[in-house]
């Protein structure tokens, strides 16, 4: 079947459908990672987004159950230059096309992804849609106009867990950690478990005052989709935890929530940071880390009496990490758990453990 990618500005790209023969709208973005398409597709941070992969050939190694970052595909659609229908990998259990069809997600191949990426880079991330049809129809643009966009959208409530659950191996010699799930990735939970935490995951709107009464040793605020500004319940939770002096770590959306709790503001980036090659300066050590990133919003502001900037993105000098000046609080804009991406920043999980250990002592 033919398929069309249509942008709200009127650009139309014709290609071939290789996913579900359905139509979806969302925010069209691009990711520069050279591998890890399954982890990208199943990352809840991509909710309501149609992802363009800039690497030209996608699907080579198929799909493996071990590489899921959540229980299903989270993106609204996938755009690639060339789809490989016959994967070659001993771990593969199904093709990418079959995987997309199983979760009813459209995908398009055969278009100029370099041209598309230049449009998104120059004009910014834009609303659009993938439409599976034999011919272009004017109604496609009308469908795109109905999509509200991500600014002001509370998507954390759509991807969070329905109920509390425990994760990993719980033992008496590990710290008890409460995780706020705003769209948490599987590998974040894996690394928290392996770094000495008894992990218990809670829905996004869980009252922090109730959790503080339960005596958790530390708290974690996860990655997730959408705009952080309307998440007043999450910002209030962060303020309560910070005021109580309990150790707190946030990644991505969690970073933005903690930033607002510490008095900073957030804003939407022109086309976001999505890929596995972003250089970040650790201001404490002077070292540069190559990082995996996936976000469309960012914390803005300068050092203050309550919070200092600990990491900077060297692509555009935006804030990539903050620390409280007097409380055990750390937050990172990028993804130290990788999946996919480099492992330069994995040390942050050990830093969090050490911070909790010092706080308890």
Q: Which of 39, 229, 289, 337 is catalytic?
A: 337
Tokens 């005052």 correspond to 209
Residue 331 CA to residue 327 CA, distance in Å, equals: 12
Question: Do the beta carbons of residue 230 and residue 194 sit within 8 Å?
Answer: no
Tokens 């130290």 correspond to 336
- Is 351 one of the annotated active-site residues of the chain? no
- Is 252 one of the annotated active-site residues of the chain? yes
Q: Measured at the alpha carbon of residue 51, what is the angle toward residues 47 and 57, in degrees to the nearest 5?
A: 145
Q: Which of 255, 278, 295, 335 is catalytic?
A: 335
User: What number of CA atoms fall less than 13 Å from residue 40's CA on the CB side?
Assistant: 31
Residue 235 CA to residue 168 CA, distance in Å, equals: 27
The gap from C-alpha 13 to its chain's centroid, in whole angstroms, comes to 27
Q: Among 32, 34, 47, 102, which residue's Cα sits nearest to residue 77?
A: 47
Q: Measured at the alpha carbon of residue 275, what is the angle toward residues 64 and 187, in degrees to the nearest 5?
A: 45
Q: Which of 195, 252, 273, 289 is catalytic?
A: 252
- Is 170 one of the annotated active-site residues of the chain? no
Active site residues: 252, 335, 337
């Amino acid at each position: 079947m033919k398929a069309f990618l249509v942008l709200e500005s009127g650009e139309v790209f014709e290609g071939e459908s290789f996913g579900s023969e359905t139509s979806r709208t969302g925010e069209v973005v691009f990711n520069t990672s050279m591998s890890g398409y399954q982890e990208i597709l199943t990352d809840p941070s991509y909710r309501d987004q149609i992802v363009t992969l800039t690497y030209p050939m996608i699907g080579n190694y198929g799909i493996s159950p071990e590489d899921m970052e959540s229980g299903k595909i989270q993106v609204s659609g996938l755009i690639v230059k060339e789809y490989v229908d016959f994967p070659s990998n001993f771990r593969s259990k199904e093709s990418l096309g079959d995987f997309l069809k199983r979760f009813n997600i459209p995908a398009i191949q055969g278009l100029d992804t370099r041209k598309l990426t230049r449009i998104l880079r120059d004009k910014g991330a834009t609303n659009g849609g993938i439409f599976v049809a034999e011919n272009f129809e004017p109604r496609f643009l009308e469908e795109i106009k109905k999509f509200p966009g991500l600014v002001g959208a509370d998507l954390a409530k759509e991807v969070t867990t329905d109920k509390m659950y425990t994760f990993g191996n719980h033992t008496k010699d590990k710290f008890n950690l409460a995780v706020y799930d705003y769209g948490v990735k599987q590998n974040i939970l894996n690394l928290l478990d392996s770094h000495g935490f008894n992990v218990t995951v809670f829905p996004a709107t869980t009252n922090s005052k109730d959790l503080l009464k339960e005596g958790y040793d530390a708290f974690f605020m996860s990655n997730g989709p959408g705009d952080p500004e309307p998440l007043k319940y999450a910002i209030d939770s962060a303020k309560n935890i910070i005021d109580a002096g309990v150790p707190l770590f946030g990644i991505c959306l969690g970073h933005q929530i903690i930033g607002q709790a510490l008095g900073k503001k957030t804003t939407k980036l022109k086309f976001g940071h999505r890929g596995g090659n972003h250089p970040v300066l650790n201001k404490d050590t002077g070292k540069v880390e190559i990082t995996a990133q996936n976000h469309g919003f960012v914390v803005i502001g300068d050092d203050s009496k309550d919070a200092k900037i600990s990491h900077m993105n060297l692509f555009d000098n935006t804030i990539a990490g903050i620390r409280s000046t007097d409380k055990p609080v750390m937050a990172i804009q990028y993804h130290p758990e990788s999946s996919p991406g480099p492992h330069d920043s994995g040390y942050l999980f050990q830093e969090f453990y050490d911070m909790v250990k010092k706080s308890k002592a």
